[in-house]
Structure 1
Amino acid sequence: MLRIHFTGVDLARVRMAGRPDALWETILSFHRIRDRRDARLFGEWRTESRTRLNGETRLLGALIPSRGYFPDFLTPMEGQYGMDAGLDALRETRPQRLRAELALLTTEQEQPTRLREIADGQGPALARLASVLRAYHRAAVEPYWARIQAQVEAERAARGRAVLDGGADELLASLPPMLRWNPPVLECDYPVDRDVQLGGRGLLLQPSFFCRRTAVTLHDPGLSPVLVYPAQHASSPVGAEPSRARDGLRGLGKLVGHTRSVVLRAIGDGATTSELARRAGVSLASASQHACVMREAGLVTTLRHGNAVLHTVTPLGAALLKAGS
Structure 2
Amino acid sequence: MRVSELRFSLADVAGVRLAVSPANETVMSMWALASPVYYAVHLPWIDRARVTLRRPEVAARVRPLVELTRPHCWLPDFLTPAARPNVEMAEQLDQIAATPPDVVVRDLLATTPRRPLGAFGRALLTDPRGLLPQVVDAVRVWYDEAIAPDWPQMRALLDADVAYRAAQLAEGGAGQFFEQLHPSLRWHGDRVVSDDPFERDFDLRGRGLALNPGVFTDRRVLWNLLEDSLPAGVYPVRAVGTLWETAATPPGDPLARVIGPGRAALLHLLETAVTTTDLARLARMSAGNVSQHLTALHAAGLVSRSRQGRHVLYRNTDAAKVLLRASRGG
After superposition, the C-alpha distances for 1:204-243 in whole angstroms (9 at most, x for unaligned) are 222111111011121221222111111112433537xxxx
Is it true that 1:64 corresponds to 2:69 in the alignment? yes
**2:297 maps to which residue?**
260
Is it true that 1:235 corresponds to 2:273 in the alignment? no
Q: 1:234 to 1:223 in 2, by over 3 A?
A: closer
Q: 1:113 to 1:185 in 2, by over 3 A?
A: closer
For structure 2, the residue ranges without an aligned partner over 5 or more in a row are: 251-255, 267-291, 308-312
Question: Stretches of 4+ moved more than 6 A in 1?
Answer: none
Kept after mapping to 2: 8 A contact 1:178/1:213: no
TM-score under structure 1 normalisation? 0.73
**1:77 maps to which residue?**
82
Q: 1:113 to 1:75 in 2, by over 3 A?
A: closer
Kept after mapping to 1: 8 A contact 2:5/2:200: yes
After superposition, the C-alpha distances for 1:160-194 in whole angstroms (9 at most, x for unaligned) are 22223222222222212122223222122212111
Deviation at 1:265, TM superposition (A): 6.9
**1:42 maps to which residue?**
42
Q: 1:247 to 1:140 in 2, by over 3 A?
A: farther
Matched pairs, number: 275
**2:21 maps to which residue?**
21
Q: 2:159, 2:8 → 1: CA distance?
A: 25
Q: 1:14 to 1:48 in 2, by over 3 A?
A: same
After superposition, the C-alpha distances for 1:107-134 in whole angstroms (9 at most, x for unaligned) are 9x966257424642344x2222222111
Q: 1:64, 1:192 → 2: CA distance?
A: 17
**What SS does structure 2 have at the residue aligned with 1:268?**
strand
The letter for the 2-side match of 1:77 is A
Kept after mapping to 2: 8 A contact 1:41/1:236: no
132, 135, 139: which one aligns with 2:141: 135
Deviation at 1:251, TM superposition (A): 3.8
What percentage of residue pairs aligned between the two structures are identical? Answer: 25
**What SS does structure 2 have at the residue aligned with 1:77?**
coil
**2:275 maps to which residue?**
none
Kept after mapping to 1: 8 A contact 2:263/2:297: no
**What SS does structure 1 have at the residue aligned with 2:212?**
strand
Q: 1:267 to 1:37 in 2, by over 3 A?
A: farther
Q: 1:272, 1:174 → 2: CA distance?
A: 20
Q: 2:134, 2:18 → 1: CA distance?
A: 32
The letter for the 2-side match of 1:121 is P
TM-score under structure 2 normalisation? 0.72
Kept after mapping to 1: 8 A contact 2:220/2:236: yes
Q: 1:156, 1:114 → 2: CA distance?
A: 34
Kept after mapping to 1: 8 A contact 2:184/2:195: yes
Paired residues for 1:102-181 under 5 Å: 102-105=108-111, 112=119, 115-117=122-124, 119-123=126-130, 125-181=131-187
Q: 2:241, 2:261 → 1: CA distance?
A: 18
Q: 2:23, 2:140 → 1: CA distance?
A: 9
